[in-house]
Amino acid sequence: MTMKFDAIVIGSGQAGTPLVFKLAGEGMKVAFIEKEHLGGTCLNVGCTPTKTYVASARRMYDALNGEALGVFIPKGAKVDLLKVKERKDKLIQKSVDGIAKGLDSEKNITFYKGEAKFVSSKTITINGKTLEADKIFINVGARPLIPEPFQGLDYLTNQSILELDKLPEHLAIIGGSYIGLEFGQMFRRFGSQVTIVEKADRIISREDEDVSAEIQKVMEKEGVEFRLEAECIGAKKDKDGSFRVKVDCEKGEPEFHASHLLLAVGRIPNTDLLNLEATGVEVNKKGYIQVNDELETNIPGIYALGDCNGKGAFTHTSYNDFEIVSTNLFENGKRKLSDRILTYALFVDPPLGRAGISLKDAKEKGLNVLVGYKKMEEVARAREKGETDGFMRVIVDAESNKILGATVLGVGGDEIISGILNVMYADAPYTVIRDSVQVHPTVSELIPTLLEDLE
């Protein structure tokens, strides 16, 4: 028998979860399907646990680096990974329980635990049942990419590394991008030896070259080893249980030993699990579902939100997808994907805050831009804190005076970037910040000064 609903939401990610409550609140009967964790990647195996670990790692760093500020902390500080994990598990559980309680008390939502598959553009199957709805919202997220040479090995992913209760002696991380760098710095701070293997000639090669160089410098100072221009082509387990990691490289050893191996070589969308062929929904070569400016696919009534549409890869972009769909469906709104300005942070320490285009993007597009740049060393508050690594850069359109992009790599960079982003959303000229008065002493106070000196 087919069960009829007004809407079906597949995946309890950062868009699906708020959407299901909104749909139900509007009086629709909704089926909500999740195959693994309630709350999705961000809450269970992404942002929340990693930023919880980053906080513990920072405490450890402070305990070991007091002397420069005249604070002598007796030796012996150590990390108990089990306790770090328990703290993380508790934080997650509280949020998961909150979602579960919300579901229990909403009579319009029927929750199904299991993997949904399409039968047609209006029907899906779940645990042997068939559900039908005129509106179907796909929010299935992404999973770690596991290249062929690593299949069958007991490697770690962003999920399993967060289940360890003992510190790895030597953690080899394959991939020097967002996931690799955040885990790399935190495990080094916890006390592991860390080697990051990256096939490109620099880490986070989507960023400007000076960003890659500065983050590498900071992490090397803390003892993280980098193998650049080194493609990991596989690994073997030795009898003692350690890994022999093989790299294709011109410089350095083609093999090294590590106790643990973390794969952080990219993510793939979970769209291959959905039997989308039954619907005619278009996906691109990488498996991302193609959507229009309002997140609808080529099949009317089917929407794709979050990482699986390839339009963003962050929690805030996924949540914004929810806002677009929700406003347009229920509030007569006209919100569009194309109104969104790119922004994100990389939570290494000091953090990288980014908004809009990079200098590399500006050059590639041949844009006529003015650039303001200051090193963190020039910021009084950064000197007072003893945290002078990094720099800030703001890119301005030479004709319109509008801000096109910004990079704040330095203490507070993840928060400071919002001030610049807000002016970009206001579509105001850079002179608004240049002529503003900021609190002294803050890192933000140098941004008006930086904007006085555009080149």
Ligand X SMILES: Cc1cc2nc3c(=O)[nH]c(=O)nc-3n(C[C@H](O)[C@H](O)[C@H](O)COP(=O)(O)OP(=O)(O)OC[C@H]3O[C@@H](n4cnc5c(N)ncnc54)[C@H](O)[C@@H]3O)c2cc1C
Ligand Y SMILES: NC(=O)c1ccc[n+]([C@@H]2O[C@H](COP(=O)([O-])OP(=O)(O)OC[C@H]3O[C@@H](n4cnc5c(N)ncnc54)[C@H](O)[C@@H]3O)[C@@H](O)[C@H]2O)c1
DSSP 177: S
Report, in Å, the least distance between residue 105 CB and ligand X. 21
Using alpha carbons, list the distances in angstroms from residue 401 to 180, 337, 450.
Answer: 37, 24, 14
Q: Which residues of the chain form contacts with ligand Y (CB under 6 A)? A: 174-180, 182, 197-200, 205, 231-232, 264-267, 313-314, 344-347
Choose between 16 and 351: whose C-beta lies nearer to ligand Y: 351
Q: How many residues bind ligand X (CB under 6 A)?
A: 38
Choose between 233 and 370: whose C-beta lies nearer to ligand Y: 233
Choose between 34 and 182: whose C-beta lies nearer to ligand Y: 182
Residue selected from 9, 41, 172, 203 as contacting ligand X according to rule CB under 6 A: 41
Contacts of 29 (CB under 8 A, 6+ apart): 4, 5, 6, 7, 108, 110
Report, in Å, the least distance between residue 107 CB and ligand Y. 36
Partner in contact with 34, chosen from ligand X, ligand Y, none, beta carbon below 5 to 8 Å by kind:
ligand X
Determine if residue 240 is labeled as part of a ligand binding site: no
Helix (H, G, I), strand (E, B) or coil at 169: coil
Determine if residue 177 is labeled as part of a ligand binding site: yes
Determine if residue 46 is labeled as part of a ligand binding site: no
257 part of the active site = no
Determine if residue 198 is labeled as part of a ligand binding site: yes
The secondary structure of 224-257 as a DSSP string is -EEE-SEEEEEEEE-TTS-EEEEEEESSS-SEEE
CA dist., res. 391 & res. 217, Å (int): 13
| Options 170, 260, 316, 440, the catalytic residue | 440
Binding mask 253-292 for ligand X (x = CB under 6 A): -----------------x--xx------------------
* Amino acid found at 213: A
**Angle at 179 (CA atoms; ends 174, 182), nearest 5 degrees:** 105
Report, in Å, the least distance between residue 334 CB and ligand X. 23
Spatial CA neighbour of 183 closest among 219, 228, 140: 219
| Sign, Cα dihedral of 172, 178, 182, 183 | negative
Spatial CA neighbour of 395 closest among 376, 420, 378, 427: 420
| Sign, Cα dihedral of 253, 255, 260, 265 | positive
Residues 349-408 that bind ligand X (CB under 6 A): none
Choose between 108 and 160: whose C-beta lies nearer to ligand Y: 160
116 makes contact with ligand X (CB under 6 A): yes
CA dist., res. 212 & res. 216, Å (int): 6
Residue selected from 19, 20, 28, 42 as contacting ligand X according to rule CB under 6 A: 42
Partner in contact with 175, chosen from ligand X, ligand Y, none, beta carbon below 5 to 8 Å by kind:
ligand Y
CA dist., res. 10 & res. 304, Å (int): 10
Burial of 400 (0-12, 13-18, 19+ CB in 10 A): exposed
* Amino acid found at 453: D
Is the Cβ–Cβ distance between 43 and 96 less than 8 Å? yes
Choose between 409 and 450: whose C-beta lies nearer to ligand X: 409
Residue selected from 14, 123, 358, 407 as contacting ligand X according to rule CB under 6 A: 14
Choose between 8 and 308: whose C-beta lies nearer to ligand Y: 308
Residues 133-162 that bind ligand X (CB under 6 A): 139-142, 158
Residue selected from 316, 375, 385, 402 as contacting ligand X according to rule CB under 6 A: 316
Residue selected from 46, 353, 405, 413 as contacting ligand X according to rule CB under 6 A: 46
Choose between 15 and 230: whose C-beta lies nearer to ligand X: 15
CA dist., res. 174 & res. 165, Å (int): 21
Determine if residue 192 is labeled as part of a ligand binding site: no
Helix (H, G, I), strand (E, B) or coil at 197: strand
Report, in Å, the least distance between residue 243 CB and ligand X. 21
Tell me the binding residues: 51, 175-182, 198, 266, 307
Chain residues that interact with ligand X, rule: CB under 6 A? 10-15, 33-37, 40-42, 46-47, 50-51, 115-116, 139-142, 158, 179, 270, 273-274, 306-308, 313-316, 318, 347
Q: Which residues are marked as active site?
A: 440
Tell me the binding residues for FAD: 51, 307
